[in-house]
Amino acid sequence: MKLHVWSNVDGYFLSRPERRSRLVELEFDPHDACRQCGERVLSVSTDNSNICPWCDSGANRPKILPYQEQEIIRLLKKQSDENKDWKSASRRVIANRATEKDVRDYLDVHGFYGSSARFISLELAAIERPGWVQVFNFHAHLKTRDGRWVVRYGICRTDERTSLFEVTLHEHKEGHSAALRTGTRAMITRDRRQQHWSMLPLLMLFLFVVGVASVGAILAPEPNRTLGGPRSTADVMSGTVAAPLNAQPAQP
Ligand SMILES: [Zn+2]
């Protein structure tokens, strides 16, 4: 069976370690025998070899009953599924790390050494609601297949629905900026998001304040002061009050 586990320089981990790591998929055979004790491995060792966690840690292996084995394997699978979900969830939000890997894979088959690429930056530049389409912006030092180091500005466009993964590389920052502007038109970008998302609550607050103020003015006990004229309470009740109340929904 396949297990989704975390990997970093220290090895493989079932739950996410503190150190920066990425998710990988491993082939795991729950019936594999430990090379030291001969019992079932029942876990993923840090070097992905067939050694059980007890032999690996030097602890005495307890007697494990078949139903307990099944339970351990079930928990392994459960944790693996959680890891996998984390991956898909994070891809939807800000998938920089997953994207970095995808970009490396892309570079590998497009004339560079993907694993040697040094990313100076890689960030989400724009999304299209509800978030399927994302555009990433990156700046990296890349090693070409003939051994030269070059600097490239890149744009990476992904669409989760169609598994689209499109990368364009630019030698110059100007060309890259222009392409990024064109490519993210009508999307929510870092700059545009600022307006869209911060203005809306402000606008709503403003409307709310205006609404409360006008209702307050209307309901104020002294009509002379709030309405600014020497009118009788009867006038206010009949005409002036009705007008603003009716006008209320028409406000933007
Ligand atoms: Zn063992």
Distance 81 CA to ligand 1 centre (A): 25
As a whole number, mean pLDDT of residues 167-177 equals 93
Same domain, yes or no: 135 and 161: yes
**pLDDT greater than 90 at residue 193:** no
CB 130 within 8 A of CB 139: no
Centre of ligand 1 to C-alpha 24, Å, is 24
Q: Rounded to the nearest 10 degrees, what angle do helices 66-92 and 96-108 cross at?
A: 80
How many separate domains does the chain show? 3
179 falls in which pLDDT band (50, 70, 90)? Answer: very high
CA distance 58 to 38: 15
pLDDT of 135 strictly over 70: yes
Range of the domain at 23: 2-92
Are residues 65 and 88 both part of a single domain? yes
Whether residues 88 and 101 share a domain: the answer is no
Q: Which residue, 186, 206, 237, sits at the end of a domain? A: 186
Q: What is the per-residue pLDDT across 82-134, written as a single tens digit (0 to 9) for each?
A: 788 766 654 444 457 778 888 999 999 999 999 888 888 888 888 887 778 88
From CA 249, how far away is CA 244, in angstroms rounded? 10
Residue 226: pLDDT over 50? no
Distance 225 CA to ligand 1 centre (A): 88
pLDDT one-digit tens code per residue, 151-161: 999 999 988 78
pLDDT computed for residue 244 by the predictor = 47
Model confidence at 230: pLDDT above 70:
no
Q: Please tell me the distance between residue 5's alpha carbon and the centre of ligand 1 in angstroms.
A: 20
Of 41-45, 64-68, 202-206, 240-244, which gets the smallest average pLDDT? 240-244
pTM over 0.85: no
The average pLDDT across 220-230 equals 51
Which of 186, 214, 234 finishes a domain? 186
